[in-house]
Amino acid sequence: MLRLTELKLPLDHSPEALRQVVLDRLGISDADLLDLQVFRRGHDARKKNAIHLIYTLDVALRDEATVLRRFQGDAHVNPTPDMRYRFVGHAPAGETRRPLVIGAGPCGLLAALVLAQSGFRPIILERGKAVRERTKDTWGLWRRAELNPESNVQFGEGGAGTFSDGKLYSQIKDPQHHGRKVMEEFVKAGAPEEILYLSKPHIGTFRLVQMVEHMREEIERLGGEYRFSSRVTDLLVDIAPDGTRQMRGVALADGSVIESDHVVLAIGHSARDTFEVLRQRGVYMEAKPFSVGFRIEHPQRMINECRFGPFAGNKLLGAADYKLVHHGSDGRSVYSFCMCPGGTVVAAASEPGRVVTNGMSQYQRAERNANAAIVVGIEPERDYPGDVLAGVALQRRLEEAAFLAGGSNYHAPAQTVGDFLAGRPSTSLGEVVPSYKPGVTPTDLAAFMPDFVVRAIREALPAFDRQIRGFARPDAVLTGVETRTSSPVRIRRGADGQSLNTRGLFPAGEGAGYAGGILSAGVDGIKMAEAVARSMLGLGGEEAARRVA
């Protein structure tokens, strides 16, 4: 087959137009086109009065070789790449060793699945509950202001991505097409097939819950074992006379010990107590940049009209999103993060006495508001120097301040954009009704946020308004605080996937500083499953590369 890219058609094109555009592009007859498949569909909305769909198509032709020669040097006509997934290898008969996967978020889930498909029968340790029970606990915070520290938006089967927009796109480089493997497994588990071809696919929370359950069932069918409510409290590390460190297993909160010399550490960005354990056990970590700020809400209809003009409401376009960046006069970047069209701002705390926000959407993206985090990038050397966990301490300080400002009842502090820009506390809100549950308290967000964050966002909002008219409207709502944009640490690993100083420990995903979303976390989980398989099979780098090829 051949892959054709950048094929442009009107938004309202007929089904027959897709075939005709291929015939015209290649200059072939209808009889020469044997098959046509949509690989990717996106849209170009730069001209609001002339929005087009952009296609990537895979086509089967009667004489592909002749067409390829004719279009030699054309970057948009090439052979369709082979994107089939290839396993590193499979466990030998009688293999008794079992790898551990700590964490059942997207990273741990995909790592466990690939290990199970490879015959290694992983044991999955999740500190939280199964996804249905976890959902009930999460609603307990949203509806009754009751927080379960071990079962919430951050902890439990499915990870933080379960209560999100379910975005499945990423800017990571993926030459081995691991992302395709993630998507195909999601479809097998119940995701809509459109995620395989939409340029910005999403699933939504309710569908994610069902998918996570189906993937668990598949892992268990293949010999994997789940253990919920199993919080890791210590690492068992053997240290040889020459200083070499080797994983031997983990200790759990219930006092039990599980032995294993291959441990995938997919703990997520909020496992702060586990970060402390890693530091105490001497696992090499370093502080890394992250971002802090607020959630902002606007009417979704306004965003649709600003982005799509007369095409707002078109079913193919759906609810409009945005991506904004402002480079401030002080050198700091302010940007939108985790934009949730037609969604809600949700309580995402995982520790008592702290308030954290996040965003969530269902598949239909049909809620009245659009929301996104507006955050400021911060760096260890500049903003929280010293201890490797100083970033965690900063997050906690801001979350505690937000808890107090909200009324010490898990209500979130909120402020209108007009009041925020004017430097005055909000005493009431306007037409934009905040979606955060259990509720918000109008206040002055600048009173507890670092001055540089406040200055940077005050500078950025008018700049964003020039890109999206109404973005700085006075009654848009800011809700605080957004602190869990990414992990504040990186657990460094080598080319073989193992910790720099602890053999058998495979740091993975967002918590280790190697991913930033559902898709990239899933891809990293697959990579670490492959690294574990190579290690358990005794494959060196070159031999492993041959196996993959």
Side chain identity at residue 40, one-letter code: R
Please choose, from the candidates 294, 289, 473, 307, the residue with its C-alpha nearest in 3D space to the C-alpha of residue 390.
289
CA distance 459 to 327: 10
> Which structure tokens are listed for 187?
């479809």
| Helical ranges in 123-281 per DSSP H | 131-144, 178-188, 205-221, 272-280
Q: Give the CA count within 13 Å in the CB-facing half-sphere of 545.
A: 4
pLDDT in tens, the chain (549 residues): 999 999 999 999 999 999 999 999 999 999 999 999 999 999 999 998 899 999 999 999 999 999 999 999 999 999 999 999 999 999 999 999 999 999 999 999 999 999 999 999 999 999 999 999 999 999 999 999 999 999 999 999 999 888 887 788 777 888 889 999 999 999 999 999 999 999 988 888 778 889 999 999 999 999 999 999 999 999 999 999 999 999 999 999 999 999 999 999 999 999 999 999 999 999 999 999 999 999 999 999 999 999 999 999 999 999 999 999 999 999 999 999 999 999 999 999 999 999 999 999 988 899 999 999 999 999 999 999 989 999 999 999 999 999 999 999 999 999 999 999 999 999 999 999 999 999 999 999 999 999 999 999 999 999 999 999 999 999 999 999 999 999 999 999 999 999 999 999 999 999 999 999 999 999 999 999 999 999 999 997 544 444 333
> Which structure tokens are listed for 541?
């780098």
CA distance 102 to 262: 11
CA distance 464 to 454: 15
CA distance 470 to 305: 11
Residues 6+ apart with CB under 8 A from 270: 154, 155, 160, 350, 484, 511
Residue found by looking up tokens 């290694």 in the block: 120
Q: Are 205 and 49 in contact (CB under 8 A)?
A: no
Residue found by looking up tokens 């044991």 in the block: 123
CA distance 41 to 25: 17
Three-state SS at 465: helix
CA distance 268 to 203: 20
φ, ψ of residue 64 in degrees (nearest 5): -70, -35
Please choose, from the candidates 342, 305, 295, 317, the residue with its C-alpha nearest in 3D space to the C-alpha of residue 468.
305
All structural domains of the chain: 2-79 (3.30.70.2700), 100-286+488-537 (3.50.50.60), 289-482 (no CATH)
Side chain identity at residue 395, one-letter code: Q
CA distance 511 to 493: 13
Region of 425 on the Ramachandran plot (φ > 0 left; ψ -120 to 50 alpha; else beta): beta
Residues in the chain: 549
Distance set, CA 343 to CA 29, 177, 192, 208, 299 (Å): 47, 30, 19, 15, 10
pLDDT score for 546: 40
CA distance 209 to 162: 7
Q: Are 508 and 449 in contact (CB under 8 A)?
A: no
Distance set, CA 73 to CA 21, 25, 60, 315 (Å): 20, 15, 20, 37
Global pTM reads: 0.94
Handedness of CA 62, 66, 69, 71 (dihedral sign): negative
Q: Are 482 and 295 in contact (CB under 8 A)?
A: yes
pLDDT score for 175: 81
For every residue of 82-95, DSSP letters joined together read ------S--PPTT-
CA distance 441 to 447: 14
CA distance 509 to 489: 12
